[in-house]
Amino acid sequence: LASGCGPASQPVWNKDSRSFFYTQADGSMLQYDLDKGATRVLLTPGRQQPRQIAISPKLRLVAFAQSAFGAESRAVQVGLASLPDGSVNWSNLEVWGDSKAQRDVSAASCYWCPTGQRILIWYQQDGAIPGLIQSATPFGQFAVYDVKSRKLSELTTAPPAVILGQVTHVSPLCPDGSGFLAMKLADRGPKFFFVSWDGWEYPLV
């Protein structure tokens, strides 16, 4: 992140190790249940482009964000999906810069603070990546969402190099330690495999 590269789309395990969440290029967000072999849609296809989602360390919530990026304006909105009933609540849209300037929908990623009180959002400018460390052109921006006050603000300090508190929430490792989750892209969409530590692959969906 410090060098300007955001995380690639990847599945995120639920804490029970029996389901995982993933996003698709059409803007949708889904949960796949290993026991039922069924998929639940938490976010239908749309202009939003959540890339990385995050599970709350305190509550049964999944956080994601939609964002827009322009030369003179930026905008972010945070969504929280309830795991018990699948309902989705959006925060107010926060705009920085010229609110009338053109903005294009961009990919966004979320990370929970370990206390569960704040969410860090990273969103990127679409198009070619500038000369990372040497470039003065910002490729991505950070924002912070305060869960209690429901306020969004831009992070104007130096961005974090590594978000250590999120390792257990965004790692493709299975939380029970039995293996890891692999995602392979195919013409019809992503294919998922559970990979045991001896290297065997077991198709999931």
**Residue that the structure tokens 């889904």 belong to:** 30
Cβ–Cβ < 8 Å for 40, 28: no
Measured between alpha carbons, how far apart are the two ends of the chain, in Å? 31
Structure letter (DSSP) for residue 165: G
pLDDT of residue 41: 94
pLDDT of residue 185: 67
The CA distance from 104 to 131, in Å, is 21
* CA-based radius of gyration for the chain: 17
Task: Identify the segments of the chain with pLDDT beneath 70.
Answer: 1-9, 126-139, 157-173, 175, 177, 185, 187, 197-199
Copy the structure tokens of residue 3: 């060098």
